[in-house]
Amino acid sequence: MIRNKVIIVDDEKLFRRGLRYILQSEPSIDVVASAGDGMELLSILEEAEHKPDVVLLDLKMANLNGIETTKILTKKYPEVKIAILSLYYSPEMVRYMVSLGVSAFLRKTINPKELKEAINKIIENGSYLTPYVLNLLKIEKKHRSKNVRPIAIKLTKREKEILELICKQFTNSQIAEKLFLSVRTIDGHRLSLLSKTNSKNTAGLVVYAIANNLVEVSELRLI
């Protein structure tokens, strides 16, 4: 079995140790390193021959906090997926971090079983958006000024179809099977959608789809 590589970044040493112990019990997860802040994480990544699949990142840390670390990671290591794990769960913070490109925003009080599932979902589908996060995105859309018009982007019928399936957390192989296309073709459409919508990842595509009424939140089955 291929084990997904994870790095834990948190300024509480005891929390890091406990989380490592919990995650290592999952056959599909391998905690390859841990760090006390963003600076330490960046040092680890610079020396690492193989980059992690997911970084579990706290927000409040000394030297380099989670927000600034996220900005650096999304630019320097766009292939690394970021899952925020924090006690700071305000609507404004959640929306902001999703806009920066994180793949998930989770409470530190999350059930260990759900955390393991979230990590595996992030690897498999590109994001893990809880009902709470989805509801925040829906509320944001409702309160958007009517005078602000979204930039018109032309998506083909096929792209809209694939975008809807992506939002419903179908993997590329599942979409390919459902639409009788090759996985390579779906990969190409996904890259095109990311480019056209200026999205950083799957979570960004979901945000775009909701904001532009291409999918209803009630139809999404992301958990």
> Which pLDDT score, from 0 to 100, does residue 130 have?
86
| Tens digit of each residue's pLDDT (9 = 90 or more) over 30-77 | 999 999 999 999 999 999 989 999 999 999 898 899 999 999 999 999
- Confidence check: pLDDT of 29 > 90: yes
Q: What is the DSSP string of 36-101?
A: SSHHHHHHHHHH-SS--SEEEE-S--SSS-HHHHHHHHHHH-TTSEEEEEES---HHHHHHHHHHT
Distance CA 55, CA 33 (A): 10
| Tens digit of each residue's pLDDT (9 = 90 or more) over 98-144 | 888 999 999 999 999 999 999 999 998 888 988 888 887 776 655 55
- Confidence check: pLDDT of 222 > 80: no
Question: Phi and psi dihedrals of 110, rounded to 5?
Answer: -60, 145
Query: pTM score, two decimals?
Result: 0.76
Q: Which residue has the higher pLDDT, 18 or 151?
A: 18
| Tens digit of each residue's pLDDT (9 = 90 or more) over 77-92 | 999 999 999 988 888 8
> Which pLDDT score, from 0 to 100, does residue 218 have?
57
Instruction: Read off the DSSP letter of residue 128.
Output: B
| Tens digit of each residue's pLDDT (9 = 90 or more) over 138-176 | 766 555 544 444 555 788 899 999 998 988 878 889 999
